[in-house]
Structures are given as structure tokens and as C-alpha cells.
Structure 1
Amino acid sequence: MRARPVIVETAPLSPGQERLINDEFARPDGSWPEPGEHTRLRPIDTGAVLIDGPLDITALQRAVSALIVRQHALRTRLYRLAETIPVQLVASSLPDQIHHSDLPGNTPLIREVLLAQSLPLHVDPRSDPLFRTHVIRLGEHRHVLLLQIHHFVSDGWSIGVLYRDLGELYNAARTGRPADLPALPRTFAAVSRDMRSERRSGQLGRQLAYWRERLDQLGPAITFTPKPVQHDTGRRPVDVQRVHIPAAAVLGLRASARGGARGPLAGPLLAALALLLHHQSTATDIRIGMMISNRARPDTEHLIGYFVNTAVIRLRLHPELTAVRLTEAANTAVREAIEQQALPIQDLKQELHQGTDPLYQVTLALNTMRTGTLALDGVHCQDIDMEVTGQRMAPTSIEQRWVLEERAGALNGTLTYQTGTFTSPQIRMALSNLDHAIAAVAAGHPTVAVITSAMRHSGVRA
């Protein structure tokens, strides 16, 4: 019998983990589910990499073991005794054996079979492993590597760290050399302790003052369409639509920020999204919840963990606003949000006492950190799209959730939307209108009103 792992570190939850547990794990009344009870927590996230060439399984096993030793977050569990404040426990070890299976290489619909094999089930962070690896053999020199990591211990930035660390550890294990990776002076648990102690600090008090001023005198919540009154069960029907923004359009957005091909992307993209939301609703006080890395500390850059926070990007539109002015406003809002990113969004909401009007109804997660796939010496690696679209139930009150990742210069991702608010034709029209909005922002006309320019060819309102 395998000995139970020893707990080597304890820490409070990070503010991001706290939000996940409150919003997606706890029951609607705030109580915790019993062990084994199905929860609202999102499924474990799966990445799939097709590997062509002679994969060294022994080196891969050593790399996985070394990764789990290096990144403490992968050995984390959630724990709460009775009604005490929940904490994260870091174990001394984790079962790190790679699961293996075979699949004939000529099997049709390989992606669908992989989705079934990956078992993207809801997991209980109190007991289930939050990091798993699975190698599927398609042929002698063809494999698929499934990497499953729960978002309780991982954000978008972390995926890039995981791929980089695993690739370097594999390449080092193949040749017997030491891995060339940055030192990790702190653990995710240690940083979480700091984040907890800083929540009432003077620095966060100054950030609260900034956000109070920034969000003063908010306009009403966006009204997209009349919504039927229905009993709130905590889970709402949503649909997921794929989103693709071509590399040429992305380059145009970057250039509009006056930074050329390397210009900032978040501001111009938010400007275009604000135009779309105005077109959908006629609202002029646009607030978007932007996912922000919250890794201003230098000792967090190379850590796997859930740090992400939400910043409220507020853009006010008027008939004379030009693309240049809108982009400048968006760039300023993003820059200041990054400077004031440490205040947890749940603390801000509590301080502002918004009542029934939400701070934002649309969110944007933009990941520009992982520009390549896993890099393993001696083989060719290629990502397999494992995103599942279609209708589902989700624990969200957000009307639209945009999740985009930059790969090969383009933006790809998903738009999750509430079907009680939007129809499929409306969303398809919205994506077409987003193209017009992006073109208007990228054109950067200094005198023509950007609202007029963006919607000149957009057709009927979405």
C-alpha cells in the first residue's frame, strides 16, 4: 500500500481561488457540498499534443515527476475543517505515473475519441488529483499527450509555464543534463500567504481609492434584450461559439496603438469590443471585466498557480469620438488597470456596494503569453483543438465571456453567451460586426466618428 503523502506546506487560498470556490464550488446558499457530490466547479482543463517521431517515454516520465517536484501548485489540495476558513495543502508527493492507452492510428474522428478518453470530468479539489498526464499510442512513432490541469491551480499564464517547464525537463532527461530553468525562490502557497496579508495594506487602500474614482457615477447596466423572469437556480443555459480573428486584423489592431507589429493588443481589442457592445445595446457607458494576470511580483513569473484577477475597463462612447481617441482611452485604461491590479475584484465589489446593478456583464480573457506548442527534441509536436462548443449549463451571470489566445499571430478562442439573452443568428451577426469594429479601430481615422465608421456596413442590429 502506498503511504499517504505528507503535508509540507499550508496557506490560505489566493484571492482568485477564493472566488472560484465561492462562485463555482459552494452551493448557492454558501454551504459546501458533501464529498462525492456533483459541484458547479468547471471541469478539469485538457490540452492535447500530437507527437510525431520517436517519443522517449522514460524521459517523459522523468520530466513529469520533476515538474511535480518543481511546481508545488500541482500537489495542492483544498481543505476546510467544519466551518473554518478554507486553506490549500501542499503534499510532499503526488501520484505521477503517466496513464497509457492505445488507439489505432487510422481511427476516424480521432479528436472525438480523445475527448471521450480524456474524461474531462468535474473533480473535487479536496481529494482528486488536479494534474494528470495520459499518453495515447497511435502508432510506433505517433502519440498524443493529454495534459490535464485544474483551473483551481492554473490560469492562462500557467499553461505557458507548464509547456515550457515540461519541454525543458524532457529535453534534459533525454540527454542526462541538468534542466536549464529559472529558479523558483517562492512557492505559489507562499505568495498566496502574502496576498492574504496584503489585502488590508496601505498599497491596496490606495488602489481602492483609484477604483472608486474610476468607477464613480456608473451608468445603468447594459440592456441587450428583454429577459424573461425565471427562477434562479445558479445554473443558466449557455452556448459556446468559436471565434477567429485573422493575423492581418490582429496586426492592424497592434499598429493602431502606435507600436507597430509589437504594439499592445489589449487596448485596441477592448475598443473594438466596446463598439460591438454599443451596437448591440446602444449603451454608452461600457464596462468590461478584463482578466488580468496579477503577477506584478517578480517571483511569480515562473510559477504555476491561479493568480488571475478581474479589472473593470470602463469606456464611455459619444457620437464625436474618433478611433484614435477611443484607442488612446482604452490603452490608458488597460495601463492603469495593470498598475492597480492587486486589489481583488470581490473586495472592490464589496466596497462599492453596487446593489443589483453589476459592475460588468461581459468579460474578456486575452492570453498572449503562450505563442507556441510543447517543444520536445527529436519529435514534432502539434496542438489538437480540444475545445468543446455547443449548449450547456454554466454557473455564470455573465452575458458574454470572450476567451481568446494569440497563436501564430491570429486570435482564436470562444464566446460563451447566455441563450436566454442571445440567439445563434444574433451571435453570428455580432461576430461579423466585430470584424467591422476591428477594421474601424485599426484604420485609426483622426476625424471621422468611430461609431459611424464601425457600423457603416454592419447591417441590422445584432
Structure 2
Amino acid sequence: MRLDAGKRHAFLSQLAAKGVNLAMLPIVRQERKRAPLSFAQSRLWFLWRMDPGSAAYNISAALRVRGKLQPRALQQAFDALVVRHSVLRTVFRQEGEQAEQFVRDPQPVALRHVTLDGDDREGQARLLARQEASLPFDLEAGPLMRAALLTLNEDDHFLVVSLHHIVTDGWSMGVLVDEFWTLYAAFACGETPALPEPEIGYADYAEWQRLWMSAVDGVRQVDYWTRRLADPAVLQLPIDRARP
């Protein structure tokens, strides 16, 4: 059950008055279908609304894979990753004053497979990888993760994965890559992956962050910075032409 803003603020104020450190409130995992945006997501949503055709906030990785691949295990690994992390099947919409994130049911990942031919297959693969990384995402329609397998020959491949920054960051990409290969190795051997279930989802964190910021300490910090930045001085930086 979610309290309205007034009741939530009153409840958290009571906790703060009793000396509870609101920043230490636990993040509760729930099977959420919708949640508020985190503050980082709000910034990216704002920028995307200004320029929805931009790929500036794409995060892409191209992995060179040598040796025989099992396409079925590859597909299973991607699909399992989407099941594990609800943020990978999340889209964003604005219905009213505030945008929200909506978690979809798991769907198979559309893994694009391109078999290259000709003399300069590596050059073709690198060009296709750059093109794949530069395609914009539709944050409202999704999906916000793409994958492509570029095969030079049966023992040499490029695996290209692109995500929008609103659902991942540089640190998280390392986690996703590690989990992906753990999943792939298990499926390739016909085994059940042994990865533990994630303790929370990103929507749980976003809900917690908004809850904390609606409390007394969060309001105090916003008020402080609003006053501090109310009348900022113009920075006179050295530039190569007259200020417009």
C-alpha cells in the first residue's frame, strides 16, 4: 500500500522526531509494476523528451568472442537476464504531472544475428557495431536493451549489446556482463544457473529514494540548495568569442 504524499510526510516526520535515521531505512523488495523515477532517471527522461532522436545516452559494449557459440544458449542467457532484472523490461511514460516507470512482463530478447561475408569481415563488423550503438531508443515504447550477434565465421563473432543509460550505468554493465556469461556457460552445458536472486530491483530503490527525499531531512536539503542557488553569479570563464 502506498500512502499519499501528505500522509507519507507525516509518517516519516514522526519517525525522524523519534531519532530514526531515515537514510538508513531498508529498501523493500516488491513485485512492482509501476514506480516513480529515481532522480537520475528524471534527468535522463527530461533530456530524452528534449531530443528523442539522440543516441548520446546509449551505453554499448562490443565483445569479441572466439570459438563456437551455441545460439540457443545465447538466447536463453539474454532472456534469463531480463527475467532477473526488471529494469531491463521497463519503459517510461508521463501520465499527469510526473513520469513513471512501468515494468513489463518478461519477453524474449530480439537477438539480431548477422552472418558476414566478403574479404573485410572485421571491418564490416566494426561498422555494424558502431551503427548499432548509434541507434536511438524509444523510452516510451521500449525495449531499452538491444543485442546483435555478428558472425565473421563459425569461430569468430562480435556480440554487440546496447542499453539506454536510464536503465543502466557503467558499473552495472560490469555486473550484467558477468551474469550473462555465467548464465550462458550454464545453459551451454545443459545446467541450471546457480546465480542468487537479486535482493532488490531498481524500481525498489527509486521508491525508497523518493520516500527518503519526501521526509524532513530531504526537504531540508532541497530548501538549503534552493536558497543557495537562488541568485547565482555568472561565471566569467575565458572563452574564444563574445558571450551571446
Which TM-score band (shorter chain)? 0.7 to 0.9
Matched, 1:86 2:99: yes
Q: Hey, what does 1:391 align to over in structure 2?
A: none
Question: What one-letter code is carried by the residue in structure 1 that aligns with 2:109?
Answer: D
1:198 aligned to which of 208, 212, 230: 212
Counterparts of 2:147 and 2:196, CA distance in 1:
23
Counterparts of 1:79 and 1:210, CA distance in 2:
30
Residue 43 of structure 1 deviates from its aligned partner by 5.1
Q: Hey, what does 1:372 align to over in structure 2?
A: none
Matched, 1:18 2:31: no
Question: What one-letter code is carried by the residue in structure 2 that aligns with 1:142?
Answer: D
Question: What one-letter code is carried by the residue in structure 1 that aligns with 2:145?
Answer: F
Counterparts of 1:152 and 1:194, CA distance in 2:
17
Instruction: Judge conservation of contact 2:34–2:102 (CA < 8 Å) in 1.
Output: yes
Identity of aligned residues (%): 30
Change (3 A) 1:104 1:64: same
Q: Hey, what does 1:173 align to over in structure 2?
A: 187
Q: Greater CA deviation, 118-127 or 137-146?
A: 118-127
Residue 226 of structure 1 deviates from its aligned partner by 4.4
Question: What one-letter code is carried by the residue in structure 2 that aligns with 1:15?
Answer: F
Residue 220 of structure 1 deviates from its aligned partner by 6.4
Unmatched runs of 5 consecutive residues or more in structure 1: 1-6, 28-32, 231-462
Q: Hey, what does 2:62 align to over in structure 1?
A: 48
Question: What one-letter code is carried by the residue in structure 1 that aligns with 2:186?
Answer: A
Residue 134 of structure 1 deviates from its aligned partner by 0.7
Counterparts of 1:182 and 1:103, CA distance in 2:
37
Counterparts of 2:243 and 2:190, CA distance in 1:
64
The root-mean-square deviation of aligned C-alpha atoms, in Å, is 3.1
Counterparts of 1:88 and 1:126, CA distance in 2:
9
Q: Hey, what does 1:153 align to over in structure 2?
A: 167
Question: What one-letter code is carried by the residue in structure 1 that aligns with 2:215?
Answer: S
TM-score w.r.t. the length of structure 1 is: 0.41
Question: What one-letter code is carried by the residue in structure 2 that aligns with 1:120?
Answer: S
Counterparts of 1:223 and 1:60, CA distance in 2:
51
Counterparts of 1:58 and 1:72, CA distance in 2:
22
Instruction: Judge conservation of contact 1:105–1:138 (CA < 8 Å) in 2.
Output: no
Instruction: Judge conservation of contact 1:43–1:123 (CA < 8 Å) in 2.
Output: no
Counterparts of 1:226 and 1:57, CA distance in 2:
54
Residue 86 of structure 1 deviates from its aligned partner by 0.9
Instruction: Judge conservation of contact 1:25–1:41 (CA < 8 Å) in 2.
Output: no
Counterparts of 2:235 and 2:243, CA distance in 1:
17
Instruction: Judge conservation of contact 1:133–1:148 (CA < 8 Å) in 2.
Output: yes
What are the superposed Cα offsets for residues 366-398 of structure 1, whole Å, 9 maximum, x if unpaired? xxxxxxxxxxxxxxxxxxxxxxxxxxxxxxxxx
Counterparts of 1:79 and 1:208, CA distance in 2:
25
Counterparts of 1:228 and 1:40, CA distance in 2:
29
Counterparts of 1:106 and 1:222, CA distance in 2:
55
Instruction: Judge conservation of contact 2:82–2:89 (CA < 8 Å) in 1.
Output: yes
Instruction: Judge conservation of contact 2:59–2:133 (CA < 8 Å) in 1.
Output: no
Matched, 1:113 2:127: yes
Counterparts of 1:226 and 1:201, CA distance in 2:
46
Mapping of residues 222-233 of structure 1, within 5 Å: 223-230=237-244
Q: Which structure: greater helix fraction?
A: 2
Counterparts of 1:39 and 1:141, CA distance in 2:
36
Residue 72 of structure 1 deviates from its aligned partner by 0.4
What are the superposed Cα offsets for residues 310-334 of structure 1, whole Å, 9 maximum, x if unpaired? xxxxxxxxxxxxxxxxxxxxxxxxx
Question: What one-letter code is carried by the residue in structure 1 that aligns with 2:41?
Answer: Q
Secondary structure of the structure 1 residue equivalent to 2:210: helix
Matched, 1:100 2:113: yes
Instruction: Judge conservation of contact 1:49–1:144 (CA < 8 Å) in 2.
Output: yes
Change (3 A) 1:192 1:221: same
What are the superposed Cα offsets for residues 417-446 of structure 1, whole Å, 9 maximum, x if unpaired? xxxxxxxxxxxxxxxxxxxxxxxxxxxxxx
Change (3 A) 1:104 1:200: same
What are the superposed Cα offsets for residues 228-267 of structure 1, whole Å, 9 maximum, x if unpaired? 344xxxxxxxxxxxxxxxxxxxxxxxxxxxxxxxxxxxxx
Counterparts of 2:233 and 2:133, CA distance in 1:
44
Residue 182 of structure 1 deviates from its aligned partner by 3.6
Instruction: Judge conservation of contact 2:55–2:134 (CA < 8 Å) in 1.
Output: no
Residue 221 of structure 1 deviates from its aligned partner by 2.8
Question: What one-letter code is carried by the residue in structure 1 that aligns with 2:65?
Answer: I
What are the superposed Cα offsets for residues 440-462 of structure 1, whole Å, 9 maximum, x if unpaired? xxxxxxxxxxxxxxxxxxxxxxx
Instruction: Judge conservation of contact 2:93–2:99 (CA < 8 Å) in 1.
Output: yes
Counterparts of 1:41 and 1:14, CA distance in 2:
21
Mapping of residues 403-414 of structure 1, within 5 Å: none
What are the superposed Cα offsets for residues 315-364 of structure 1, whole Å, 9 maximum, x if unpaired? xxxxxxxxxxxxxxxxxxxxxxxxxxxxxxxxxxxxxxxxxxxxxxxxxx
The alignment covers a number of residue pairs equal to 212
